[in-house]
Structure 1
Amino acid sequence: MTRTVSEMNSTRFSFRRLLAVAPLALALAACGGEEGDTAASTSGPIDPIAAPEGTSWTDTVTLSEEGGFVLGNPDAPIKLVEYASHTCGHCGTFSAEGKPPLKQDYISTGVVSLEQREVFLNFIDPVLATLVQCGGPERAHALSDEVWANLGQVMAGVQQNPEAIQATGNLPDDQRLVRIAELAGFIDFFAARGLPADQARMCLSDFDTVKAMVEQAETVAQEDEITGTPTFFVNGKRVDGTVWAAVEPALQNAGARPAE
């Protein structure tokens, strides 16, 4: 199901509403959105940019001013931005089909970077985003990919404990997200991928930090008129499509070429 601009605006969450435990169906909200137009522009090929000695651009992650996680050369001349939700199946499809060639053929050259920005469709998204970010910038992309690769398992815990998860709405702010993560099996899921349980609980109980993350992400998404996930931009121009087959030509039009 595709959500229109008016529908997105009419259901735009305030922070308190977003973290309130809404009906479980919201946790499985469809992703997708209106496709925009990408200006048809072709640039000549840009020469590769070497990473600092002893490093690789595909292992380099930095935090942007917008709160996104930039994979690759932070000064890359071609900047790909993805707005994504961790409960979005289409985002998972891009993670599986688009990220491997994107990293191997383009990010590795230092010419292209990928900035992942959060979109929150439901009360589960902030929990998953907090856990993804809890491991530090260098692990954010890898943990996001793990969530998308195992989205069925991740969401199964939510579906199996609806009454208990609903009841977390009565807990204090610093306990609510921790309890949701415990009931849904997220603590164990991330622990199996290197994020200690105590560290995960500490991040989830830091309500002020979670609040700031959500509010910044919502502000940035509104400024870019995001109507669904995933949504891509190349150097500020919206990509007409949500799959790798649409993103790659946009990168090449901007001057990117596959690594030799």
Structure 2
Amino acid sequence: MKLRSAYLASALAAATVIAAPASAQQSDRVTLSSMGGHVMGNPLAKHKLTEYMSYTCNHCAAFEAESHQQLKTNFINKNHVSFEIRNLILNPIDLTAAMLARCGGRTRFFGNHHALLAQQSTWLKKFQSVSPEAMATMNDGTVPERLRKIARASGLDELMKGRGYTAPQIDACLSDKVEQDKILAMTKHATVTLKLTGTPSFTLGGKPLAKVHSWGALQPKLAVLPQ
């Protein structure tokens, strides 16, 4: 999906890496990178894979569905690849979903991330069916107020309630300026520093992988990495 974000902004001091407790599988480990992205697997792994993604990108949803188990089993749990998710925000509903994905801290992130992408077609379709009159009000109010309107109109709030979050918790997540700044800083890094123009895009060891935007294109590159 091509970039068309109106939400780019500069922000974010480096976030502290938070170590996860040891677990039986490396894919159960979740830490935060210095940029605030969520890292699955050994944060000291030899090969660091990063996805820059959008929650409104159908190719990102396809990548998640196709790679979810294979990436964990064949690469992350073998301890030589870590996998980080960073945001490349394309539009206001994408920002809303990204804020909700971060609800509940690092241990809840990948579950939220997977659920949002698995149900993407449902909540996007609901948002796209909003009346023109209601859509005209989406840009009224503060940023948190706008995000709450989008969450209600799309059913993202109900999705999160189904995952055990209360309405006050959802509102608090959508109002969290610190988390918003992290998301926008990741987007700025992707577009300004790395010059990425679409989602999903990937870096390996911090270097963009040219013409790799799907699991089918990424998997062969991971398969030849030394363990």
**TM-score, with length taken from structure 1:** 0.75
Q: Does 1:149 align with 2:118?
A: yes
Residues 190-216 of structure 1: per-residue CA shift (max 9 Å, x gap): 11122332211111123x235413431
Residues 190-249 of structure 1: per-residue CA shift (max 9 Å, x gap): 11122332211111123x235413431222112111110001122233323222222122
The one-letter code sitting in structure 2 at the alignment partner of 1:232 is F
For the residues of structure 2 that align with 1:227 and 1:150, how far apart are their CA atoms? 25
Q: Does 1:68 align with 2:68?
A: no
Give the match for residue 161 of structure 1. 130
**TM-score, with length taken from structure 2:** 0.85
Contact 2:55-2:116 at 8 Å conserved across structures: yes
For the residues of structure 2 that align with 1:174 and 1:191, how far apart are their CA atoms? 18
Q: 2:219 aligns with which of 220, 234, 248?
A: 248
How many residues align? The count is: 214
Q: Does 1:58 align with 2:27?
A: yes
Contact 1:78-1:251 at 8 Å conserved across structures: no
Q: Which moved more, 1:218-227 or 1:169-178?
A: 169-178
Moved over 6 A (4+): none
Q: Does 1:102 align with 2:95?
A: no
Find the residue that maps to 1:125 and give its secondary structure: helix
Give the match for residue 90 of structure 1. 59
Task: Name which one, 1 or 2, has greater alpha-carbon Rg.
Answer: 1
Percent identity of equivalent pairs: 34
Give the match for residue 191 of structure 1. 161
Give the match for residue 135 of structure 1. 104
Contact 1:15-1:211 at 8 Å conserved across structures: no
Find the residue that maps to 1:98 and give its secondary structure: helix
For the residues of structure 1 that align with 2:103 and 2:180, how far apart are their CA atoms? 14
Point out where structure 2 has 5 or more consecutive residues left out of the alignment. Answer: 10-19
Point out where structure 1 has 5 or more consecutive residues left out of the alignment. Answer: 17-50
For the residues of structure 1 that align with 2:199 and 2:121, how far apart are their CA atoms? 18
For the residues of structure 2 that align with 1:12 and 1:197, how far apart are their CA atoms? 27
Give the match for residue 121 of structure 1. 90
Contact 1:234-1:251 at 8 Å conserved across structures: no
Q: Does 1:204 align with 2:197?
A: no
Task: State the Cα distance separating 1:186 from its structure 2 match.
Answer: 0.9
